[in-house]
Structure 1
Amino acid sequence: MSNSGISQRPYVHHRAFPLSTQDIYKEYSNVDFRLSFPGRKMIANSLRVEGRFNAYKANTSPPIETNRLANTDYKSFYDPQIGVNACFQQLTTSTQNQGQLELLSEAPRLCKMINTSMASQNDMGNSSNSSELKTRTLMLANRVLKGERFDNVADGSLPKNGMSFSSKPICCLNMASAGLAQPQVKYTTTGDIMFTIQLARNNAVFFGSDVSAAGSNVYNYTLSDLSISFSSVPDDAQPQMPIDFHTSSNVRQTVQSTFSNVSVNESNLSNSVSCSFLRQAEENSPDFNNTRLDKPPLVTNIEYLFNDSTNKFLTFNLKSNQEIIERYLESMSNSKVNHVQNVMNKAGENYGIGIKFADYLDLSTNKFGVNITSSTLSNDPYIIFLYFHGKVSI
């Protein structure tokens, strides 16, 4: 159908394929999509990445079908709270007219932080989450790795098409707002939109005692039949309504002493910062979940330092664990609902720190600082991942 015919249809579901189409996409691949919708308005927050997820043992190229997981491979997992998003290491969004809107690295970790802050473990079984291959338990995640199969199916009859998924990635195109109106983006405003996914390394996706760094149990994944879908309506020739695209960007530093100071600049305007930790020795290790939200040992004090919108220097000193977690949740969302379970928090899981500012701040010249007092030692450092949340308006 011609573009003129499409432009008159009241509602169109678009599908875009990678610019460089391949049978399979593996770790470290960059997958580029061009979203074009002339004569239309994209319905923001409708972007989805779709395809099939395939898991294998032994890193052969191309993958061998007999290397798919067998019934006896029951100690291999991916993070059940992020699903296939574990594969999307970096997301880049740019437009023909505005240039780059967002570059989000360490995207799987932010997905984990959002889900543990705003959803419960049981919520992972909802259809909106299960379509992204999220599950309620590690056992169910292990079943997903084995593909579309039934109980008591012989290993010689393993499926050859993996698990289908439809994921709504955490990117600014899915984090748009326009007051009370539905955010719609005119093609004449942005031109073509480029969306790029950099795929994560294998060891950042899989973990478990069945997974090893070498030999026959080197787990690897492929994505196939990749596409992006989004929706649009006809351009009504009205001026572009103001739209805020909410963005996130990541900076990582190291905490390696009992008193650590982290001080960074951020190029975008930010209204909050959210942080999580991972023991450095366990990063990208097949024995450990790479998106764990670790708690450094015996955190006794968190202090934030920054200049407000009037350039006044402010400090916030937090000592109690409850106050630290409450500030973290505020930095993630305006929601007052706390789904971070107290039991898990005490066990050191799903831990984070953060602060929400009173306004959008320019941290490009005045640094944002955080002082952390804990029992962290130089021979056992932790990585701190700082996510600055801001917006781009068009």
Structure 2
Amino acid sequence: MRVKSTVALIALAVATAGLPACGAREPAGAGTPAAVAATGGATPPTGSPTAGPSARTGLGTARPSPSTPAFRAGNPSGRAAVPAEARAVDTSHPTRTIGTGTAASCTSAAVVKAVAAGGIITFDCGPAPVTIRMKATAKVVNSHGPRIVLDGGGKVTLSGGGERRILYLNTCDQAQGWTTSHCQNQDHPQLTVQNLTFADGDSTGERTEGGGGGAIFVRGGRFKVVNSRFVGNRCDRTGPDLGGAALRVLSQYENKPVYVVNSTFERGTCANGAATSSIGVSWTVLNSVFRDNRAVGTGANPARSGTPGGGSGGAIYCDGNEFTVRIAGTIIEDNRANEGGGAIFFVSNNRTGTLRIESSTLRRNPSQGFETRGFPGIFFLGARPPTVTSSTLR
């Protein structure tokens, strides 16, 4: 049931040359990236990101003690307003708690069991930060919930150990239960991850729904990320359309957006979309940071003769028909794509999709193959040129 791309690349005034995620190849002699600035505005600082003031609003988790390093995620200078539905969920009255007050009590098995049971889930692993190395992927059971909230309180890292995907939700996976007759378009389960670090997830070799999603794979329902970090996650290094070293998302309910708020994505590696990847999904990214991610495939999509394909979307990869992407208060820097879109790869096959960049900074995101003239680090095919306000692109 995976969406397939079939439309050939058409010439656009804004494009130097390029290659849609689905369709035609870039012509020989594609232009080099244009290093120009979009409509002006202050450039946010590049220092270590810290949690924004709204990141913990409404949470029942304790503040770090003076001896505990502060949890830092997102762009502290981001000033994009966060709508109510995108904010952290109140977890002061959890359904269940992982751990009994010690690090040893916070195990992979406990995480897997809690996620399968659903509800609002918190951790009690003692006063110090803890890393839980996952020995199996935690999978959402579609009949449970309908809301699943995983809140690490800023002290928990879930690690795939470089061996496995960390978290999985798929409303169309019969093994997790079909709960409606239209699995590709249902409003539940609704998954939120907040105040967590996801590290060293790896979905290499996973083939369900085309693979991807080194840390988290989501198809169906609703999905939200708040005040979280994604570090060193991976997925397959080759392939024309798979992606999402951190996040791979498909088929959100009624095309409502995935919210990413006050979150950081660093050092992801995948064929495409070395932080996030999606097909036919809308995104709203607020006050976040994407840094040092690499789309390492070669040959683009469809794969050029003699190549395995991939290499687009150093940070963000979006494909499909009608969808929207809004990026506000966000820094995207030092990402790289072997093919198109060192920062963002955006292809709306029927040319109905739109991209908005507001009060953000995109810099040093080289596209080794192709990108859209006047938009450094971006390859775009959509309804009209991207809308860029109070932002810096270079």
- TM-score normalised by the chain length of structure 1: 0.25
Larger radius of gyration: 1
Higher helix share: 1
